[in-house]
Amino acid sequence: MALEMKTRKHKGVTIVSLKGEMILSEEHFALMKFVVKELDEEKRFVIDLGKVSKMDSAGVGELVAVNVAVKEKKGQVHLANFEDHIGKILQMALIHKIIPSFDTQKEAIAAFDD
């Protein structure tokens, strides 16, 4: 299943809801391309992983690359709403030490610095 992205804005935060597989494929780095395009105007992003069904090292790498790109522009990324199997992958990769992670979008939005 290809990776689908839906975006919306809430309280100055761009929420990117992902659905499908974050794996090495033709769509690889679609999230990165979207975020970099938005970075001139937006600085706070929540990446909702609640409907990601599969993730490999390329998907983990994309999350890290997005975080680096946003931090370089003085922005912030928070992760939210991931299933147990995706959470285990992110925990093994120690992503929670790099990118703040939250159970819900609401918690992720509330945690941004004002």
State the Cα–Cα distance between residues 73 and 40, nearest whole angstrom. Answer: 8
Residues 39-78 have pLDDT tens digits of 778 899 999 999 999 999 999 999 999 999 999 999 999 9
Query: The domain that contains 99 carries what CATH number?
Result: 3.30.750.24
Could you list the residue range(s) of the whole structural domain that residue 20 is in? Answer: 4-110
Is 114's pLDDT higher than 70?
no
5 beta partners: 18
What's the N-to-C CA distance of the chain in angstroms?
A: 37
Does the pTM surpass 0.85? The reply is yes
pLDDT band at residue 83 using 50, 70 and 90 as cut-offs: confident
Number of structural domains found in the chain: 1
